[in-house]
Chain A
Amino acid sequence: MSIEVSNLTKKYGDFYALDDVNVSLPTGQLTALLGPSGGGKSTLLRIIAGLDTADHGNVSIEGVDATKLPPQKRNVGFVFQHYAVFKHMTVAKNVAFGLEIRKTPKAEVKRRVGELLELVHLSQFADRMPSQLSGGQRQRMALARALAVEPTVLLLDEPFGALDAKVRKELRDWLRRLHDEVHVTTVFVTHDQEEAMEVADEIVVINQGRVEQVGSPDQLYDEPANDFVMGFLGEVTRLGPVRLRPHDVEVAVTPGHAGAFPGTVTRALRVGFEVRLQVELDPEFGSSDPVSVVLSRSHARSLDIELGSKVWLTAAIGAVTVPAMVAV
C-alpha cells in the first residue's frame, strides 16, 4: 500500500473535519476521494501532503511514517484547485522550480522540463508567463510542475473545479490517459461523482469526516454500502419500502404485475434521449413524495405514456435497492 492513513482525526473547534479515518490507498492506482463539500476530503488530502496537521493519527507514505515530516520532505506532488502558479516565472521556470531547489544540473533541468512540457502539450508556451495561459493550460502546467520532482504520490485537490464544463471533461480524459502513461500513485479530490466514476480505479466516499465506503466505481454503484453512498452516486427515488435508481423502475400501462404500485403520471419531461416522469402513487400506497422514473424516449413512446396516464410501477429485476429510511 502506498499511502496508509490510520486513526486520523482533525477538529476545527467543535467541528470534526475528520473523525477517526482509516484508509489505505494502493500503489500505482488512480484513487478518487469523493464526497460533498465540507465533508473532509480536502482536509485529508492536505494532511497527507503535510500542508495541514492532524490532531491524532498517522500517515505513512511508501512505508515511511510521514506524520511529523514537513511537506518539503514528503516527496509528494500537489496540484491546487486554483493552480497556485508562480506568477512571476515563465512556464518553463515554473516547471523547473522543484528541480532547481534540488540543485539538479542545468542541462538535466532543461531536458526534464522539455520532456514534461511535451507530456502536458505545452512545449510552445515554455517562455510565456502564466497569465497568458488559459485555466486548463495553467492546470496542466501545475501538473507538469508537480511531476517534475518525480513524486512518490501525486495529490490533486479538486483539480478541475475552477474550469468550465467542457475543459473539465477534456482534462479528465487527459488525466486518465496521463496516468496510464506515468503510473504514479495518484489521489484526487472531487465532489463530482461522474468525474470520480469516469476517471478513478478506486473511489473512497467521505462524508462528515468519515469514510462511508471504499471500492471500485462499479462496486460503489452496484453495491452501495448505505443510503448515503447510493444517494451520492446517482439519483435515487423511493418506491414503497425500498430506495432505488429511477431507471430501475419498470413501468407498465396495465395492471397484473405482482406487487405493482399503481399511480398517475403528474409530470413528463423530455431531456435529450431520455424521458423523466413523476408518478403520484394512489393514496392507499401512502408515500407522500412522487416517484421519479427515467425511461428511454423510444420506450416511453412505445408505452404511449403522457401526462395523466395511469401506470403500474415495479422495481426492475436485479435492481440495486436499499431499504428506505423511516420517514420522519
Chain B
Amino acid sequence: MLEVSTPVKWLLRLLAVGYVFFLVAWPVTTIVRTAFADGVGSMLEVFTDPATVHALSLTLQIAIQAVVINLVFGVTISLLLVRYEFPGKRVLSALIDLPMAVSPVVVGLALLLVYKPNGGWFGETLAENGIQIIFSGTGMIMATCFVALPLIVREVVPVLHEIGDDQEQAARSLGANFRQTFWRITLPSIKWAVVYGVVLSLARSLGEFGAVKVVSGNVINQTQTATLLVESKYESFDQPGAYSVAFVLAFLSVICIVVVSLLRPKEIHK
C-alpha cells in the first residue's frame, strides 16, 4: 500500500468524513430532528390521516411488486449477459445502464408518450381494450421497474463472472438439467449479490419520485405515493407532516442498508 505521512492521513480522513457529513449525514439527521420537533405524539398523529396511510401502503405495494419483477428479469438478464453469446449483447448491456443516466422525469414522459390513452403510440389500442396504464398502478410499477432495473443486474453480473461456469458444467456432467443447475448451484452462489441488489432496488423504488409523478397523475387516495405526498404536504405549508412522512421513507431506506451491511460481512468471513 501507498505510505502516507500522518498529517496527510488525518487530513484525508477529515475531508472524507466532512464531505459525507455535510452532504448526507447532517441533512438526514435534520429530517429526524424536525420530524420529532413537537414530540413523538404529533409525529405519529400524521399517520391517523387516511390519505397518508394510503400513500405509504401504495408506495410499499408498488415498490415490492417492482422489486419482484426486477428480480426475475434482473437475474435472467444477468445470466444471459454472462453465460451466452448473441448478437446485440453489447447493445442490451448498454440499455441496462440507460436508467442510471436518464432523468426519471424523462422516463415518465417517455412512458406517457407510449402508453397514454389518448394519443399514445400503444396506449390507444390498450385503452380500446379496457386496459389503462397511465394514471394507474401498472404505469407506476413500470416507471419504478425502469429506474431500478440496473441495480440487480450490476450486482449479479460481476459475481457470475467471478464464479465462472465450472461449477455449472460440473453439475451438468453429473446429470443436472438446466433448472436443477440453476436452483442448486447458480442461485446459491450468487445469493448475496441478489440479496444486495434486491435491497438496493427496494430502497430506490421506495424513494422514486420523478417518473412516478409524471405517470401517476398524483390523485390523493388513489395514485399518490409517499414521495408525492411529501411534496404536496410541503407545498401546502404542512411542514411537520412533510417531515414525518419523509422520516418514514428515510427510515425504511436506512433499515434496508443496515440489513445489507449486517448480512454482508458474515458471508465474507465465512
Contact = CB atoms under 8 A, between A and B. Distances in A.
A84 B170 contact: yes
Interface string B160-190: 0001001101111111110010001100110
Nearest to A93: B184
Contact of A71 (B163, B166, B169, B189): B169
Nearest to B169: A51
A78 B175 contact: no
A80 B166 contact: yes
B180 A78 contact: no
The residue among B175, B177, B188 with the most chain A CB atoms within 10 A of its own CB is B175
A166 interface: no
B172 A145 contact: no
A133 B184 CA distance: 22
A83 to B, nearest CB: 8
B175 A51 contact: no
Interface in A260-302: none
Contacts of B170: 78, 80, 84, 86, 142, 145
Contacts of A142: 170
A49 B163 CA distance: 21
Given A87-B189, A88-B189, A72 B169 contact: no
A51 B180 contact: no
B85 to A, nearest CB: 12
Nearest to A100: B184
A101 B167 contact: no
Contacts of A72: 172-177
Contacts of A74: 173
Contact of A84 (B166, B175, B177): B166
Nearest to B177: A72
A98 B246 CA distance: 53
**Interface range for B:** 10 to 19
Nearest to A70: B172
A70 B172 CA distance: 8
A85 interface: yes
A71 B177 CA distance: 9
A78 B167 contact: no
Contacts of A70: 172, 177
A82 to B, nearest CB: 6
A149 interface: yes
Contact of B173 (A76, A82, A83, A86): A76
A159 interface: no
Interface string A63-76: 00000001110111
Contacts of A82: 166
Nearest to A77: B173
A146 B170 CA distance: 9
A71 B170 CA distance: 10
Contacts of A83: 166
Contacts of A232: none
Contact of B174 (A51, A85, A88, A101): A101
B152 to A, nearest CB: 20
A102 B167 CA distance: 18
Contacts of B189: 87-88
A24 B173 CA distance: 21
A102 B184 CA distance: 14
B174 A98 contact: yes
Interface in A181-198: none
Contacts of B163: 87
A97 B174 CA distance: 7
Contacts of B175: 72, 75, 98, 101-102, 149
B168 to A, nearest CB: 9
12 contacts: A71-B173, A77-B173, A78-B169, A80-B166, A80-B169, A82-B166, A83-B166, A87-B167, A97-B174, A101-B175, A142-B170, A145-B170
Interface of A: 49-51, 70-72, 74-78, 80, 82-88, 97-98, 101-102, 142, 145-146, 148-149
Closest 4 pairs (CB-CB, A-B): A84-B166, A98-B174, A78-B173, A84-B170
Given A78-B170, A97-B176, 9 more contacts: A71-B172, A72-B174, A77-B174, A84-B170, A85-B167, A87-B167, A88-B189, A98-B174, A145-B174
